[in-house]
Structure 1
């Protein structure tokens, strides 16, 4: 059995408002809010992806009470890291005093954290590690085209982390994951030396709001619960309009729906753990309650599972 034993999150101090963006591109607060629901985002000025990841992971590790030497696996989900080798995960392990864990980065776009969480879950269930540290960390401001008003209004920086541990009660449900490679270019980040985020926004919106709900429901079915039993729903914080449209298709009247996108923007692989950690921190969802995690994005890919809140 596996469970999330602790969570942590970290965001840069600098807040970029919609009003700030009007000085960079032809836009307005009304235009951004109406189309995305976003009012602000955090931008890292002096922090790297490693800095963000280590800060969130350090909080999760401290909250778990687990000796760093007991961590057997470190995974960092990111698509914005500039460093290739050593991996961000190896750098985080070094900073936190984790001596000999297998450490690697995972890139599955915005679905990176839920993919990494499933990977850690499988590792612990197989007995290859007793504790794993899973982190979603992004510095999207490094890959933002600040002249493109359709994308620069969306993106923000941050990190969230979870400690996955063996032991009762069983708290991580089976994963539902997949991809649609035929539409792989709908979200893209190319040019290795100066990558820039770009997407076909309308195509992503249609895909997310018309094709993904069945996979979210399947994650609940595999966990042995109905959507009406959910205490919380944390989707990828891509766009408030997508979140609202997706949740409407799920019969989950009791669920608290994460809307961290409003104040944090789209933080890609960091968005699910960041939003989940905030819900747990303010006890918006009771300990032990079932929460659906469901992320989607570049690839086009998706991954989700039901977890029990620590």
Structure 2
């Protein structure tokens, strides 16, 4: 008997903190305004944790992924958490998710590709699951960006929010959903986004023993994204022998609404093919795509038997970027 070897998305889920911070709220300590932030980013609000750490957000997102399914957590063979803001270097966030979900048979690890992390995580999980005995893999993107943001820096403080989201992958006799991919890193430009930098600290080496806050060269990242992402999207289409007209939705990392508008123009696509929720959550790094996917699934815009072709594309620190072409059942 041939074992099933096709991978599909079985369920989605997300979780964001209750505390909502508006652009007007930020004016209490930053020299900014709602109009200034909205014009440059499209962001109106963001959710900030009031004490919940990354693992807590990811655990709740994982519970929401499994809610409504009949999946036994012991049938999950793999848990990947994409994050650049873990609770600690060890234990991993994924291992804490594994413990709380009682997924006793799951191997678990964190993956850090910054804002590209969820796309990277999906690409890794899809390949690993094909060769595993158990039929399910859980991929979560989760961040508490408020831990690493310099809240006195107007150029970055207005951008980020906290949250988590994920998907459950299933290996079964079904239509293959993962069609093509394009993943890259350009470490030469890694200086454009730095977070958590830590100098060597031992009795023989002078250095600080604290983690650095996030710093970002917005102009360099903007230039990189607007050149690299259209090429990456075209690459996955060419690899699969598909045309842009066949794509129903392009889900981009929710970093900046203006970048998304430029992507639509460069790809010669109507803007309504690019769903957004950045106005509500800001940039939640590795969590942005899975939160968006879950919202669209709950609205029945994607998945739910709609038989759609979608593209997931993300970019972030490293510098990293990646694109997946999916055909949803």
TM-score by length of 2: 0.90
1:23 Cα deviation after fit: 0.7
Q: Is the 8 A contact 2:141 2:164 kept in 1?
A: yes
* 1:261 matched to 2:278: yes
Query: In structure 2, the residue corresponding to 1:175 is in which secondary structure?
Result: strand
- Which residue number corresponds to residue 51 of structure 2? 46
Q: 2:140 aligns with which of 135, 138, 143?
A: 135
Q: 1:175 aligns with which of 163, 171, 181?
A: 181
1:65 Cα deviation after fit: 2.5
- Which residue number corresponds to residue 75 of structure 1? 80
Distance (Å, rounded) in 2 between the aligned partners of 1:309 and 1:93? 27
Distance (Å, rounded) in 2 between the aligned partners of 1:107 and 1:2? 23
1:12 Cα deviation after fit: 0.5
Q: Is the 8 A contact 1:172 1:306 kept in 2?
A: yes
RMSD value over aligned CA atoms?
1.6
1:251 Cα deviation after fit: 4.1
Gaps of 5+ in 2: 1-5, 199-209
Kindly report which structure 2 residues correspond to 1:2-81, keeping only aligned pairs within 5 A, or say none.
Answer: 2-81=7-86
Distance (Å, rounded) in 1 between the aligned partners of 2:110 and 2:100? 16
* 1:229 matched to 2:234: no
- Which residue number corresponds to residue 219 of structure 2? 202
1:260 Cα deviation after fit: 1.1
Gaps of 5+ in 1: none
Q: Is the 8 A contact 2:307 2:328 kept in 1?
A: yes
Q: Is the 8 A contact 1:231 1:285 kept in 2?
A: no
Distance (Å, rounded) in 1 between the aligned partners of 2:140 and 2:95? 12
Q: Is the 8 A contact 1:231 1:254 kept in 2?
A: no
Are residues 63 and 119 of structure 1, via their aligned partners in 2, closer, same or farther at CA, if it must alter by over 3 Å? farther
Distance (Å, rounded) in 1 between the aligned partners of 2:295 and 2:40? 24
1:223-257 Cα distance to aligned partner (Å, 9 max, x none): 44222111111111111111111122224449631
1:194-218 Cα distance to aligned partner (Å, 9 max, x none): 3311100011111111232010121
- Which residue number corresponds to residue 298 of structure 1? 317
